Amino acid sequence: MVAHSKVEADNAVANRRCPHLEIPVRDHSQIHPARHIHHSPGRPLPAILLSDTHFSTFRSNFEFAVITKTSSLLDDCGFYWGPMTVKTAHEKLKPEPVGTFLIRDSKQKNCFFAISVRTATGPISIRIIFQAGQFSLDGSKESFNCLFQLVEHYLTSPKKMLVVPLRKVRLRPLQELCRKSILKTFGKENLDHIPINRVLKDYLKLFPFCI
- Give the pairing type, strands 134-137 and 122-131: antiparallel
Pick the CATH number of 86-165 from 3.40.640.10, 2.60.450.10, 3.30.505.10, 3.40.50.720: 3.30.505.10
Band the pLDDT of 170: cuts 50, 70, 90: confident
Average pLDDT over residues 180-187: 85
Domain boundary assignment for the chain: 4-77, 86-165, 174-206
Average pLDDT over residues 6-27: 36
Average pLDDT over residues 27-53: 43
Average pLDDT over residues 103-117: 90
Region of residue 94 (phi > 0: left; psi between -120 and 50: alpha; otherwise: beta): alpha
Number of neighbours of residue 151 by Cβ within 10 angstroms = 22
Region of residue 204 (phi > 0: left; psi between -120 and 50: alpha; otherwise: beta): alpha
pTM of structure: 0.68
> Going by C-beta distance under 8 Å and a sequence separation of 6 or more, which residues neighbour residue 46?
24, 36, 37, 38, 39
Contact present, 22 and 9 (Cβ < 8 Å): no
Contact present, 34 and 49 (Cβ < 8 Å): yes
**Does residue 103 surpass a pLDDT of 90?**
yes
Q: Which of 9-13, 150-154, 167-171 has the lowest mean pLDDT?
A: 9-13
User: What is d(CA 16, CA 174) in angstroms, rounded to the nearest whole number?
Assistant: 45
Percent of the chain with pLDDT over 90: 39
User: What is d(CA 86, CA 92) in angstroms, rounded to the nearest whole number?
Assistant: 10
Band the pLDDT of 57: cuts 50, 70, 90: low
7 vs 182: which has the higher pLDDT? 182
Q: How many residues does the chain have?
A: 211
b/e map 67-86, b = 16+ CB within 10 Å: bbebbbbbbebbbbbeebeb
pLDDT of residue 50: 40
User: What is d(CA 139, CA 120) in angstroms, rounded to the nearest whole number?
Assistant: 20
Band the pLDDT of 55: cuts 50, 70, 90: low
